[in-house]
């Protein structure tokens, strides 16, 4: 069977993301990658927790005084909502509704872009205050952890844009269904990491 | 590569069944989303309310763990069939993550 075969909603398989051997391999391989990503972020979280508030004498930048929760709250809501919109996109993917899937993915992308813009603003604000990467062990650990997550969001946005544009004329088939599906897994994983960042870094930081 | 795929046309009844099933899944996912928003609000509110750190920290960590479980099992479909290897990879990753964090917060003291 040619991978570019056209389907109808009636003939579209129940699990298009694992319908071919190639798709099954990508599915398993991508989850293995996510398991590895879990360990990557664990090392960064561990470093952050070990070095939290480790600042030289006379350095006033500590979690209690630096972080502002309203901004973090808005960022959390944006990313959490973008997780839901990518669920909507996968709902339409399973129903072979290509246009609706693309639309919901585009909305996901804009929400992610909003999140990233706020994060850039936040870092800019901190650096303006003097809380730079080399300010203290705490600042380096903070920027590395939160920045690596931000980098993941940025990579996800590039990936999403390429997916949407590259398949715009092709439509949905068994070749790209799994590509869309793995993107949605990646996006949910980014949200999973953020849940721990807003809890461990910001909420626990404000509490002290 | 994909020679083992045959295209099966669903009967109207089967198609109707599939649609209903995916609508039901969507509704449960929407409910889980509402739950996640609710838990996020509680976390932020608990911190803003200024309770003792010994109370707030366990609560927000627990809420984060539950939220992540909902993401994995409902949004990333780990509750569905054919996710045995997936669970192995993720629980392996989580175990290593736990050990790493535990080691860093207990052994390093400077």
Q: Work out the average pLDDT over A99-126.
A: 97
Q: Which member of A11, A22, A204 has the closest CB to residue B2?
A: A22
Domain tally, chain A: 1
A163, HSE (Cβ side, Cα atoms, 13 Å): 27
Is there a contact between A126 and A205 (Cβ–Cβ < 8 Å)? no
Instruction: Indicate if B45 and B57 belong to the same structural domain.
Output: yes
**In whole angstroms, what is the distance from residue A183 CA to residue B10 CA?**
28
Q: Is residue A191 part of a domain?
A: yes
Residues B45 and B90 in one domain: no
Q: Is residue B101 part of a domain?
A: yes
pLDDT (0 to 100) of residue B70:
94
Question: Phi/psi of residue B9, each to 5°?
Answer: -80, 125
For an interface test with A, the pick among B28, B93, B94, B98 (most A C-beta atoms closer than 10 Å) comes out as B93
Compute how many other C-beta atoms are within 10 angstroms of the C-beta atom of residue A36: 14
Determine the Cα–Cα distance for residues A5 and A52; give it in Å rounded to an integer: 54
C-alpha–C-alpha distance, residues B44 and B46, integer Å? 6
Least confident of A100-114, A184-198, B40-54: B40-54
How confident is the model over B60-87, as pLDDT tens digits?
A: 999 999 999 999 999 999 988 889 999 9
Nearest CA-CA distance, residue A39 and chain B, Å: 5
Residue A5: the pLDDT is 79
Q: Same structural domain for residues B84 and B41?
A: no
Per-residue pLDDT, averaged over B8-15, amounts to 90
CB contact under 8 A, A199 and B37: no
In this structure, are B71 and B56 located in the same domain?
Answer: yes
A185 → closest Cβ in B44, B76, B93: B76
Q: Do B85 and B75 share a structural domain? A: no
Does one domain contain both B69 and B36? yes
pLDDT the model gives residue B8: 85
Q: Which residue of A has its CA nearest to B101?
A: A46
A46-99 per-position pLDDT tens digit: 999 999 998 988 888 999 899 999 999 999 999 999 999 999 999 999 999 999
Q: Do B97 and A189 touch (CB under 8 A)?
A: no
Question: In this complex, do B71 and A91 lie within 8 Å of one another by their Cβ atoms?
Answer: no
State whether B94 and B42 are in the same domain. Answer: no
pLDDT at B110: 57
Q: pLDDT tens digit string along A127-156?
A: 999 999 999 999 999 999 999 999 999 999
User: For the domain that residue A190 is a member of, what is the CATH number?
Assistant: 1.20.120.80
The model's confidence at residue B7, banded by pLDDT at 50, 70 and 90, is confident
Q: Among B20, B59, B68, B70, pick the best mutation site for testing chain A contact (most A Cβ within 10 A).
A: B68
Q: Say what angle helices A177-196 and A21-51 make with each other, to 10 degrees.
A: 10
Residue A3 lies in a domain: no
- Regarding whether B84 and B74 lie in a shared domain, the answer is no
Q: Considering only CB atoms, which chain B residues are within 8 Å of A91? A: 22, 25-26
B75 shares its domain with B108: no
Asked if A175 contacts A26 with a C-beta cutoff of 8 angstroms, the reply is: no
**What value does the mean pLDDT take over residues B21-42?**
94
Residue A41 lies in a domain: yes
In a domain, A2, yes or no: no
Q: How far is CA A104 from the centre of its chain?
A: 16
A73 contact residues in B (CB cutoff 8 A): 44
CB atoms within 10 A of CB B38: 12
Structural domain of A162 = 18-52+63-207
Closest residue of chain B to A49, computed from CA coordinates = B105
B34 within a domain of the structure (yes/no): yes
Cα distances (Å, whole numbers) of residue B80 to A43, A189, B55, B72, B83: 30, 17, 35, 11, 7
Q: Residue window 24-63, chain B: list those with CB within 8 Å of chain A.
A: 25-26, 29-30, 33, 36-37, 40, 43-44, 47-48, 53, 56-57, 60-61, 63
What is the mean pLDDT of the segment spanning B31-59? 94
Whether B3 is in a domain gets the answer no
Q: Are residues B18 and B66 in the same domain?
A: yes
Q: Give the separation between CA A117 and CA A109, rounded to whole angstroms.
A: 12
- B97 touching A (Cβ < 8 Å): yes
Output the CA angle B58-A72-A153, nearest 5 degrees: 105
- Whole-number Å distance between alpha carbons of A171 and A164: 10
Question: Minimal Cα distance from B16: which residue of A?
Answer: A10
pLDDT for B109 beyond 90: no
The reply to whether B25 falls in a domain is yes
- B68, B101: one domain: no
Residue numbers of the domain that contains B63:
10-79
State residue B50's pLDDT score: 85
Whether residue B72 sits in one domain with residue B42:
yes
């Amino acid at each position: 069977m040619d991978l570019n075969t056209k389907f109808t909603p009636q003939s579209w398989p129940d699990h298009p993301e694992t319908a071919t051997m190639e798709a099954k391999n990508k599915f398993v391989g991508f989850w293995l990658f996510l398991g590895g990503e879990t360990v990557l972020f664990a090392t960064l979280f561990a470093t952050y927790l070990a070095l939290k508030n480790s600042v030289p004498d006379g350095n006033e930048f500590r979690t209690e005084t630096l972080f502002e929760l309203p901004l973090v709250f808005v960022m959390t809501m944006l990313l959490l909502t973008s997780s839901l919109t990518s669920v909507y996109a996968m709902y339409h993917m399973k129903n072979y509704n290509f246009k609706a899937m693309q639309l919901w993915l585009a909305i996901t992308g804009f929400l992610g872009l909003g999140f990233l813009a706020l994060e850039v603003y936040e870092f800019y604000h901190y650096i303006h205050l003097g809380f730079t990467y080399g300010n203290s062990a705490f600042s380096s650990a903070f920027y590395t952890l939160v920045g690596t997550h931000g980098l993941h969001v940025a990579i996800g946005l590039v990936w999403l844009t390429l997916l949407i544009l590259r398949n715009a004329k092709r439509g949905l088939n068994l070749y790209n269904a799994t590509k869309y599906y793995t993107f949605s897994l990646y996006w949910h994983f980014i949200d999973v990491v953020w849940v721990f960042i807003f809890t461990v870094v910001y909420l626990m930081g404000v509490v002290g | 590569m994909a020679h083992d795929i045959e295209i099966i046309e669903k009967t109207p009844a089967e198609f109707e069944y599939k649609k209903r099933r995916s609508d039901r899944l969507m509704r449960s996912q929407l409910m889980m989303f509402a739950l996640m928003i609710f838990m996020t609000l509680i976390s932020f509110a608990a911190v803003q309310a200024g309770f003792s750190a010994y109370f707030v920290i366990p609560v927000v960590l627990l809420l984060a763990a539950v939220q992540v479980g909902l993401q994995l099992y409902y949004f990333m479909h780990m509750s569905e069939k054919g996710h045995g290897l997936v669970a192995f990879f993720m629980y392996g990753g989580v175990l290593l993550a736990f050990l790493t964090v535990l080691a860093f917060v207990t052994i390093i003291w400077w």
